[in-house]
Every structure is written in C-alpha cells, then in structure tokens.
Amino acid sequence: MTQAPESIRNDEAYGAGEWPPLTRAVSYVGSACVIQGTGDFDPQDLTAVRRRFPGRYVSLDGDVITVWPPCGPAR
C-alpha cells in the first residue's frame, strides 16, 4: 500500500528564534525532523536542537540537522 506524499512529509512554518539562525526549512518525515540551512550549521546549532528534542538522536551533516525517530522497544 502506498501513501500520498503529503502524509509522509510535512513542512512546518518556523519563526525567528525557534530554530538555528541559518534555518531555511523545517520538515517532518514521520516522526523524524529535518532542519535544512542556508549554509553549514555549527556545533552550537546542533546543541540547541538537541535541547529541543531531549532523549532523541540528533545528527549534523553540514547544512542539515536530522532529529531521528525515537527508538522502539527492543525485540
């Protein structure tokens, strides 16, 4: 069964101060959050996003910060 694209990805409107200063887009893919920048984010940006999502794995790859889905129970 396929899903409509709009049910997979959800773009969020963001305001100044809510996200790192270089943020140009914030979107959700399921429960993952993807923050795209106009340039490379720095470690302080990563730390700020990690504070916003405690307990989640957050990674930085240049101009993209990804907040990964929470881990499910061990099987």
Domain that holds residue 26: 5-67
pLDDT digit string, tens, across residues 33-47: 999 999 999 999 999
Let me know: does 55 contact 17? Beta carbons within 8 Å: no
Q: Which residue has the higher pLDDT, 16 or 49?
A: 49
**pLDDT number for residue 60:** 98
Tell me the pTM: 0.79
| Percentage of residues in the chain having pLDDT higher than 90 | 65
74 assigned to some structural domain: no
Res 72 pLDDT > 90: no
- Domain presence at residue 14: yes
Residue 22 within any structural domain of the chain: yes
Asked whether residue 73 is assigned to any structural domain, the reply reads: no
Per DSSP, the three-state class of 8 is helix
User: At residue 20, what are phi and psi to the nearest 5 degrees?
Assistant: -55, 150
pLDDT of res. 18:
85
When divided into structural domains, the chain yields a total of 1
Q: What is the mean pLDDT of residues 20-43?
A: 94
72 found inside a domain: no
